């Protein structure tokens, strides 16, 4: 359990006056919690609990208290659902104690979920603490998130200050007595002691590897390019400053030679029991999506998408511009029982505008 290890090791090394070791994982001990805007809860009780105004968005520094538990979750993740009961117990423990009430807060952040999905989770599981949406993966990306549930613990010395990460926990957690003691102990700590720890931030954008070899992926992309037009030539893997996995080629389309591109997208699953997401998509120099093929796309039970499901999904994808915004609507855009995977694909395509800009800067769109 990383939260106990992080806290106990911190005290040990501070007492000895030596440097603490680096911990692996998403956002790390000693890092500042990102000031990423989130939608303000609409309910007055939730706003009052967090100490927020009715402004449309807020950042974590605006939340009241001295210690906060931020729970990254997805409403469709079975382990995230199971975690609501222990955290309801923790919420009550905090609120029942004069020592911790108003000083320790719990905030749920639902990655890639709609307000309706969040409302259903709160109603079905009688969730006591506030949950807000992170529909565009903004906070998730900022903390270098992977599978959920992911709990991040942070503290600060004064209201309004940016929070300092004091630990994290990946997966389910049922020891609420131990977690309560840990959070209560953080109230006595100086946030500067955590912030001053030596740390090494892992590289953002590091993704899992697809199940196929690079040779096999290259072969499949070649076939996908050739299916788009005639006179296939100039096929190459591009070397980009961002490190994104991109190929280019030239095809004859509509009677003229045109440059086309393919990006291989590999993303960690939002849910800790689901397969990671791997696919590639084709686009032209204007950013119009020409095609998309799965390398590993699964739904509930880690069952692969059927051809019919893929074709239905592609009807909402093919022909759209990468720079046109990819707001995900689970009622319209999701494959049944594959809502999380569908949302990840949309989010990856939403990052396509950055790739277009990079290709333009590198002079590769000519």
In this structure, is residue 165 part of a structural domain?
Answer: yes
Same domain as 236, residue 176: no
- Which of 168, 195, 222 is the last residue in one of the domains? 195
- C-alpha to C-alpha distance for 72 and 90, rounded to whole angstroms: 16
pLDDT in tens, 9-41: 444 444 434 343 333 458 989 999 999 999 999
Which of 220, 170, 176 shows the shortest CA–CA distance to 24?
170
- Residues in a beta bridge with 277: 267
Same domain, 20 and 47: yes
Closest CA to 76 of 117, 35, 105: 117
Name the domain count of the chain: 2
Write out residues in the chain with pLDDT < 50, as ranges.
1-24, 201-205
Q: CA-CA distance, 105 to 118, in Å (whole number)?
A: 19
302 and 332 belong to one structural domain:
yes
Contacts of 269 (CB under 8 A, 6+ apart): 147, 275, 276, 277, 340, 341, 344
pLDDT at 24: 42
pLDDT for the residue 9: 43
Query: Is 243 buried (19+), middle (13-18) or exposed (0-12) by CB count in 10 A?
Result: exposed
What confidence score (pLDDT) does residue 156 get? 97
* pLDDT value, residue 11: 45
Side-chain-side CA neighbours of residue 197 (13 Å) = 30
Q: For residue 206, is it within any domain?
A: no
Query: Which residue range forms the structural domain that includes residue 239?
Result: 214-361
- Cα dihedral value 243, 247, 249, 254, nearest 10: -110
- Report the pLDDT value the prediction gives residue 197, as an integer from 0 to 100: 76
Rounded CA separation 231/133 (Å): 47
Within 13 A of 181's CA, how many CA atoms are on the CB side?
6
Q: Is residue 208 part of a domain?
A: no
150 and 284 housed in the same domain: no
> Within this chain, do residues 95 and 174 fall inside the same structural domain, yes or no?
yes
- pTM of this prediction? 0.87
Question: Do residues 140 and 58 both lie within one domain?
Answer: yes
Residue 110: left if φ>0, alpha if ψ -120 to 50, beta else—which one? beta
pLDDT at res. 198:
64
- Measured between alpha carbons, how far is 304 from 297 in angstroms, rounded to an integer? 6
The encoded tokens of residue 62 equal 């605006």
DSSP assignment of 209-248: PPSS-HHHHHHHHHHHHHTT-EEEEEEEE---TT---EEE
Residue 186 CA to residue 10 CA, distance in Å, equals: 11
Cα distances (Å, whole numbers) of residue 256 to 225, 227, 260, 366: 15, 16, 12, 14
Domain containing residue 133: CATH number: 3.40.30.10
For the chain, the maximum distance between any two Cα atoms, rounded to a whole number of angstroms, is 76
- pLDDT recorded at residue 191: 95
Q: What's the CA gap between 271 and 274, in Å, rounded?
A: 5
Q: Same domain for 155 and 187?
A: yes
Say what the pLDDT of residue 25 is. Answer: 57
**Using CA of residue 338, residue 340, residue 345, residue 350, what is the dihedral sign?**
positive
Please give the Cα distance from 114 to 99 (Å, whole number): 35
Cβ atoms of 221 and 212 closer than 8 Å: no
**For 156-170, b where at least 16 C-beta lie within 10 A, e where not — what string?**
beeeeeebbbbbbbb
Find out whether 157 and 191 touch, Cβ atoms under 8 Å: yes
Question: Of 136, 165, 195, at which residue does a domain stop?
Answer: 195
HSE, CB side, 13 Å, CA atoms: give it for residue 100.
22
Q: Is the peptide bond before 325 cis (omega within 30 degrees of 0)?
A: no
Local structure of 325: helix, strand or coil: coil
pLDDT at 126: 98
Whether residues 74 and 153 share a domain: the answer is: yes
- Do 178 and 264 fall within a single domain? no
């Amino acid at each position: 359990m990383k939260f106990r290890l992080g806290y106990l090791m911190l005290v040990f090394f501070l007492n000895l006056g030596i440097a603490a070791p680096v911990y692996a994982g998403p956002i790390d001990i000693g890092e500042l919690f990102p000031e990423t805007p989130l939608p303000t809860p609409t309910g007055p009780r939730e706003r009052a609990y967090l100490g927020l105004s009715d402004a449309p968005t807020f950042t974590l520094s605006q939340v009241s208290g001295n210690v906060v538990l931020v729970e990254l979750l997805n409403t469709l993740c079975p382990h995230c659902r199971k975690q609501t009961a222990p955290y309801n117990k923790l919420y009550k423990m905090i609120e029942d104690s004069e020592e911790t009430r108003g000083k320790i807060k719990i905030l749920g952040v639902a990655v890639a979920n709609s307000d309706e999905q969040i409302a259903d989770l709160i109603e079905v599981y009688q969730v006591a603490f506030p949950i807000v949406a992170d529909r565009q993966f903004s906070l998730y990306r900022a903390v270098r998130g992977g599978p959920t549930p992911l709990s991040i613990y942070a503290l600060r010395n004064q209201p309004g200050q940016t929070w300092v990460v004091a630990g994290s926990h990946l997966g389910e957690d049922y020891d609420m007595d131990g977690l309560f003691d840990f959070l209560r102990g953080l109230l006595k700590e100086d946030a500067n002691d955590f912030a001053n720890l030596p740390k090494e931030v892992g590289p953002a954008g590091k993704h899992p590897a697809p199940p196929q070899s690079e040779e096999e992926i290259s072969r499949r992309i070649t076939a996908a390019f050739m299916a788009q037009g005639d006179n296939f030539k100039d096929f190459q893997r591009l070397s980009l400053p961002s490190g994104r996995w991109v190929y280019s080629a030239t095809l004859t389309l509509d009677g003229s030679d045109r440059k086309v591109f393919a990006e291989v997208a590999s993303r960690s699953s939002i849910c800790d029991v689901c397969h990671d997401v791997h696919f590639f998509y084709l686009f032209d120099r204007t950013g119009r999506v020409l095609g998309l093929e799965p390398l590993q796309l699964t739904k509930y039970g880690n069952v692969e998408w059927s051809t019919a499901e893929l074709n239905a999904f592609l009807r909402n994808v093919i022909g759209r511009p990468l720079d046109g915004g990819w707001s995900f609507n689970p009622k319209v855009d999701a494959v049944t029982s594959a809502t999380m995977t569908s949302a990840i694909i949309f989010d990856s395509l939403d990052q396509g505008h950055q790739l277009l800009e990079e290709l333009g800067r590198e002079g590769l769109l000519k």
